[in-house]
Structure 1
Amino acid sequence: MDRSSVSWRGYIPAITTPFDSSGALDLPALHQQIDWYRAEGLHGIVVAGTSGEWFSLSTEERADLFAAAARHRAEDFVVIGACNAFTAAEAVVHARAAERVGLDGILLTPPPYVVPNPREVVQFYSDVSDATDIAMCVYNWPRGCVVDMGPDLLGELADVENVVAIKNSTGDFASFLAGMYALEGRVRYFGLPTSPLGADLALLGHGDGLMGSGGVLGSDHPGFWDAVDAGDRDRAVELGARDRVVMQAWFTPDYGVRFGNQQAIMKTALRLRGVPAGHVRRPLLELSADEVDLIASTLASLDIETVR
């Protein structure tokens, strides 16, 4: 497989996993949430990622989530299942669940906490690839996994059979750019910022989009990439500026959060928009009243109506 094996492009966010107030998985809410994303024109979704609280899902719940999300697959709507795990054997179980229900591909970080060396990282992805036949997106997220995979290591991973894409969420922009140029023509490359620079790079044909978080701005997110496809830089920059408001108000440059936790921020924003995103599951906690007000204020600054 390589980049030509898939048509992934544009904005494909890692979405939240709805839990009810007791902490149970709420699949009816998930379907409503995905219906909203589709109506807003998103190009696809990632389920059971970091935003989807994979770390608190059982193996059975993750499989149920994959099966539910698979019902929404369409030619213009990619559904990818995150298979993050501490061992390749665990990741293979999740990847096979994604294969069984017909997901378009899987997203996979290196094992978090473990801090594997480059040789071990390559072996980890090779083991998962060898045991499955599903397209894979390698996810470099040093804040969550400690390991920051540079261009050379990403180049080795691009040679792994099932790897078709890289989501590069490094805080080192120079390394991001080096990886982008080194891997062009080999794999899909996600992570371009929604800044004027990101628009210019995309208009020059670099990168394939952004696998963001939550998709709380709805149509603004895919609109940036649709404007790029149409060659409309002004429109792309205008929409990207709205996304930057959210990123600067809620998140740090290295993808950390300024308050609360990322999952509660996303779920609160979606609930304020009337989208049934549910609640976070322990050990995460909901935002304080003041933090909810901050979320509402940010949305209001973008002329987005909210409900309480």
Structure 2
Amino acid sequence: MNRNSVNWRGYIPAITTPFTREGALDIDALHTQMSWLVDEGIHGAILAGTSGEWFSMTAPERARLFMAGAEHRGGAFPVLGACNAFTPREAIVHARAAEAAGLDGILLTPPPYIVPNRNEIVAFYQAVNDATDIPLTVYNWPRGCVVDMDADLLGELAQIENVVAIKNSTGDFASFLAGMYALEKDVRYFGLPTNAMGADLAMLGHGDGLMGTGGILGRDQAGFWNAVDDGDRETAIELGKRDRVYMDAWFRSDYGVQFGNQQAIIKTALRLRGIPAGFVRAPLLELTPEEIARVEATLLELGIETGSLTDD
């Protein structure tokens, strides 16, 4: 496999996993959320990523989520399953569940927390690769995994048979660019910023898009990449500025949050828009009234109508 084995491009967000107030997996809400994303023209979705609270789900729940999410996949809307885990054995269970569900591919970070070395990381990805035939996206997530994979290591991983894409969320932009120029002919490369620089790089043929968070702006976020494809730099930059409004208001430059937690922020924003994104699971907490007001103020600044939050 290589980058030509898949057609992934544009804005593919890691979406939230809806839970009821009592903590049950809410499949009906997931279907509504994903139908909205499709209607908004989003270019795909990632299930059970960090935004999707993989860390609080059981393996059967993740498999059930993959089965439900797969119902929305289509030629213009690939659906990937995140298989993040501490051991290759666990990651393989999730990868096989994604494959059985008929998902288009998987997303996989190095094992979080334990800070594996280079050889251990390569062995981890190789083991998952050898156990499945599903296209694999390598996810460099230094904030969550405490390792920042450089261009040389990503290049080694790109040679693994099923690896077709890299999501590089490093805070080191020079390293991001080094990886992009070295690997973009072999694998799809995600992580371009939604600003003038990102538009210029994309219009020059570099990178494949952004695997972002939540998709809360809907067609605006898809529109940035559509405008790039159309050669409309001005429209792309204006849409990218909208993306920066909420990123600057809620998040930090290292992708951390300024208040609450990322999952509750995104779920609250979606619910304010009338999308049933559900609630977070422990150990995460819902936002305080003051924090909810902060999220709503940003949406209103963007001209997005909001409604009352309910337990539905």
Which category of TM-score, normalised to the shorter sequence, fits these structures?
over 0.9
Show the 5 A alignment for 1:70-89: 70-89=70-89
1:184: how far off? 1.8
> Distance between the aligned counterparts of 1:288 and 1:54, measured in 2?
23
Q: Which amino acid aligns with 1:147?
A: V
> Distance between the aligned counterparts of 2:197 and 2:246, measured in 1?
18
Q: Which amino acid aligns with 1:127?
A: A
Q: Secondary structure in 1 aligned to 2:166? A: strand
The answer for the alignment partner of 1:208 in structure 2 is 208
The answer for the alignment partner of 1:134 in structure 2 is 134
The answer for the alignment partner of 1:53 in structure 2 is 53
Q: Which amino acid aligns with 1:64?
A: R
> Distance between the aligned counterparts of 1:25 and 1:190, measured in 2?
29
Q: Which amino acid aligns with 1:33?
A: Q
The answer for the alignment partner of 1:22 in structure 2 is 22
Residue 104 of structure 2 is aligned to residue 69 of structure 1: no
> Distance between the aligned counterparts of 2:156 and 2:220, measured in 1?
35
1:116: how far off? 0.4
Q: Secondary structure in 2 aligned to 1:271? A: helix
Q: Which amino acid aligns with 2:254?
A: D
Question: Identity of counterpart residues, as a percentage?
Answer: 70
Residue 242 of structure 2 is aligned to residue 248 of structure 1: no
The answer for the alignment partner of 1:291 in structure 2 is 291
Spell out structure 1 runs of 4+ moving beyond 2 A.
none
Q: Secondary structure in 2 aligned to 1:165? A: strand
> Distance between the aligned counterparts of 2:145 and 2:151, measured in 1?
17
The answer for the alignment partner of 1:277 in structure 2 is 277
Show the 5 A alignment for 1:157-176: 157-176=157-176
1:25: how far off? 0.3
Q: Secondary structure in 2 aligned to 1:206? A: coil
The answer for the alignment partner of 2:91 in structure 1 is 91
> Distance between the aligned counterparts of 2:168 and 2:131, measured in 1?
24
Residue 113 of structure 2 is aligned to residue 113 of structure 1: yes
The answer for the alignment partner of 2:145 in structure 1 is 145
1:61: how far off? 0.1
> Distance between the aligned counterparts of 2:184 and 2:266, measured in 1?
32
Residue correspondences, number: 308
> Distance between the aligned counterparts of 1:292 and 1:185, measured in 2?
43
Q: Which amino acid aligns with 1:92?
A: I
> Distance between the aligned counterparts of 2:173 and 2:246, measured in 1?
20
> Distance between the aligned counterparts of 2:163 and 2:156, measured in 1?
10
CA distances 1:196-237 after superposition (whole Å, capped 9, x unpaired): 111111111100000000000011111000000000000000
> Distance between the aligned counterparts of 2:22 and 2:122, measured in 1?
40
Question: Which runs of no fewer than 5 residues in structure 1 stay unpaired?
Answer: none
TM-score (normalised: structure 2): 0.98
> Distance between the aligned counterparts of 1:94 and 1:184, measured in 2?
27
Q: Secondary structure in 1 aligned to 2:93? A: helix
The answer for the alignment partner of 1:101 in structure 2 is 101
1:114: how far off? 1.1
> Distance between the aligned counterparts of 2:139 and 2:252, measured in 1?
19
The answer for the alignment partner of 2:8 in structure 1 is 8
Q: Secondary structure in 2 aligned to 1:137? A: strand
Show the 5 A alignment for 1:33-52: 33-52=33-52
Q: Secondary structure in 1 aligned to 2:243? A: helix
Q: Secondary structure in 2 aligned to 1:161? A: coil
Q: Secondary structure in 1 aligned to 2:205? A: coil
> Distance between the aligned counterparts of 1:107 and 1:49, measured in 2?
8
Q: Secondary structure in 2 aligned to 1:14? A: coil
> Distance between the aligned counterparts of 2:195 and 2:260, measured in 1?
25
Q: Which amino acid aligns with 2:3?
A: R
> Distance between the aligned counterparts of 2:184 and 2:108, measured in 1?
20
